[in-house]
């Protein structure tokens, strides 16, 4: 099944602010805001690590704030922008746009501002606003898929709802002085992202590969596709439970098994044929890094030389980050009526993210602060490159 995003042609001159192209579909504002937010929050985080506190410190604790703004301010923002756009094609129902989309964007912006102020009062306000944003997203999406009885995509209702709930539990835990639980659930959120990557990537990467690399149809054994989802859900549930009960060897072994399943799935996707197409190899590498990251997470339970945090960043930077920037680049071109050929500098941006992954994973063994500074710097450069290239595209009318 193909995931497509269609955007209505709009040739008439916009007469009102809410008719501006930026509010045509959700991917336009949320892709741009997410890229900007990730650059800004990482810059503030690195300044903090180097002794310069530019945000409040009486709200969220620093590590939870960093995790939250990258996973929610960046990651789920892009995911929601994509899903609220894709649902229009999945259902044949018009998705959110115009004034309603502007209101959702304004709610997102107010939430981010409150988190950036990060006082005790603003963090509580931000938590309430974040909850309202999640509620609006789930209602908007659910209304469309239920109206069309689009059962195949009901799964995103559950996934978005669980992600929203975990997000609020992270915030509630940290604001009630339970930072340990908040950090644990932040790591669980990363695993929830891998479920979304497996779901969306499993649908689109083989399809894009066949079309873009001109290969024969890709046929992954059905049993792999049937098992990878339940295994991912069970692994995530076991990880969450491990904070409360002793799960013994279940979590590390299931993490490594899940990673191996993803590697097996990827082996059928003809990755070698994508090396000349940046919009393809970036997706394949991100999926590979997700699989390797899961294996590394499991191995970190046994290897003193591999910390859980370093292994986790294989997924957050190399898997989530690279897949998001690759998908944003593709969607921003294809669904504004442009040819799916990226500028060379975007290919460089993809390479920078891979380099950031390697630096953040291995350099901390020698110099942790240098690793953090370099990897964050490369991410910020990637975000700025994306904004420079795609701001004119996402803020202008669809080409015929």
List pLDDT tens digits, range 178-207. 999 999 999 999 999 999 999 999 999 999
Look at 1 and 27; give whichever has higher pLDDT.
Answer: 27
Asked if the model's pLDDT at residue 105 lies above 60, the reply is: yes
pLDDT in tens, 158-179: 999 999 999 999 999 999 999 9
Which among 139, 164, 162 has a CA at the least distance from the CA of 72? Answer: 164
Residue 65 contacts residue 115 (beta carbons within 8 Å): yes
Distance between CA atoms of 235 and 252, rounded to whole angstroms?
Answer: 9
Residue 253: count of CB within 10 angstroms of its CB: 15
Tokens linked to 400: 């015929």
Distance between CA atoms of 189 and 239, rounded to whole angstroms?
Answer: 11
Q: How confident is the model at residue 83 (pLDDT cuts 50, 70, 90)?
A: very high
pLDDT in tens, 240-273: 999 999 998 999 999 999 999 999 999 999 999 9
Which among 83, 77, 86 has a CA at the least distance from the CA of 6? Answer: 86
pLDDT at residue 4 in the model: 53
pLDDT in tens, 119-153: 999 999 999 999 999 999 999 999 999 999 999 99
Distance between CA atoms of 296 and 256, rounded to whole angstroms?
Answer: 7
Residue ranges in 119-249 assigned as alpha helix (H): 120-147, 155-175, 179-212, 222-241
Q: How confident is the model at residue 14 (pLDDT cuts 50, 70, 90)?
A: very low
Residue 24: count of CB within 10 angstroms of its CB: 25
Asked if the model's pLDDT at residue 290 lies above 90, the reply is: yes
Mean pLDDT of the chain: 95
Could you give the angle at the alpha carbon of 279 between the alpha carbons of 101 and 334, nearest 5°? 40
For residues 220-233, average pLDDT: 96
DSSP element (H, E) containing 5: none
pTM: predicted TM-score of the whole model, two decimal places: 0.94
Distance between CA atoms of 396 and 340, rounded to whole angstroms?
Answer: 17
Tokens linked to 340: 């799916």
Residue 334 contacts residue 3 (beta carbons within 8 Å): no
Distance between CA atoms of 86 and 78, rounded to whole angstroms?
Answer: 12
390: CB partners within 8 A, 6+ apart: 31, 32, 35, 328, 329, 332
Query: For the ranges 29-43, 46-60, 291-305, which has the lowest average pLDDT?
Result: 46-60
Tokens linked to 168: 């609020």
Give me the residue label for tokens 């442009």: 338
Domain range list for the chain: 19-177, 187-400
Distance between CA atoms of 7 and 17, rounded to whole angstroms?
Answer: 18
* Torsion-angle region of 334 (φ positive above 0: left; ψ -120 to 50: alpha; else: beta): alpha
pLDDT in tens, 313-357: 999 999 999 999 999 999 999 989 999 999 999 999 999 999 999
Asked if the model's pLDDT at residue 2 lies above 70, the reply is: no
81: CB partners within 8 A, 6+ apart: 26, 27, 28, 29, 30, 31, 34
């Amino acid at each position: 099944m193909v995931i497509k995003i269609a955007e209505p042609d709009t040739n008439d001159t916009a007469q009102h602010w809410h008719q501006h192209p930026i509010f045509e579909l959700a991917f336009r504002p949320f892709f741009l805001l997410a890229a900007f937010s990730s650059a800004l929050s990482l810059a503030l985080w690195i300044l903090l690590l180097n002794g310069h506190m530019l945000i409040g410190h009486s709200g969220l604790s620093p590590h939870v704030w960093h995790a939250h703004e990258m996973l929610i301010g960046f990651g789920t923002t892009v995911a929601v922008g994509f899903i609220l756009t894709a649902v229009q094609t999945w259902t044949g129902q018009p998705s959110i746009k115009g004034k309603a989309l502007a209101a959702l964007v304004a709610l997102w912006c107010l939430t981010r501002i409150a988190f950036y102020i990060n006082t005790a009062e603003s963090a509580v306000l931000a938590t309430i606003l974040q909850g309202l944003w999640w509620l609006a997203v789930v209602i908007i999406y659910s209304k469309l898929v239920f109206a069309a009885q689009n059962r195949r995509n009901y799964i995103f209702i559950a996934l978005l709802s669980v992600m929203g709930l975990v997000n609020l539990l992270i915030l509630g835990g940290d604001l009630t002085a339970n930072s340990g639980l908040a950090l644990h659930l932040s790591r669980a959120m990363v695993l929830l992202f891998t479920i979304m990557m497996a779901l969306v990537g499993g649908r689109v990467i083989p399809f894009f590969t066949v079309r873009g690399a001109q290969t024969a149809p890709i046929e992954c054994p059905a049993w792999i596709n049937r098992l990878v989802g339940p295994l991912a859900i069970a692994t995530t549930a076991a990880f969450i439970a491990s904070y409360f009960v002793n799960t013994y060897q279940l979590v590390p072994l299931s993490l490594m098994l899940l990673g191996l399943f993803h590697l097996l799935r990827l082996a059928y996707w003809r990755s070698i044929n994508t090396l000349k197409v940046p919009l393809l190899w970036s997706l394949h590498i991100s999926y590979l890094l997700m699989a390797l990251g899961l294996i590394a997470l499991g191995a970190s339970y046994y290897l003193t030389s591999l910390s859980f945090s370093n292994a986790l960043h294989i997924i957050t930077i190399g898997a989530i980050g690279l897949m998001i920037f690759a998908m944003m680049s593709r969607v921003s071109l294809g669904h504004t009526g442009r040819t799916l050929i990226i500028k060379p500098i975007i290919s460089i941006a993809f390479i920078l993210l891979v380099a950031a992954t390697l630096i953040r994973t291995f350099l901390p063994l020698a110099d942790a602060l240098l690793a953090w500074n370099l990897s964050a710097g490369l991410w910020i450069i990637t975000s700025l490159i994306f904004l420079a290239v795609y701001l004119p595209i996402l803020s202008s009318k669809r080409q015929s």
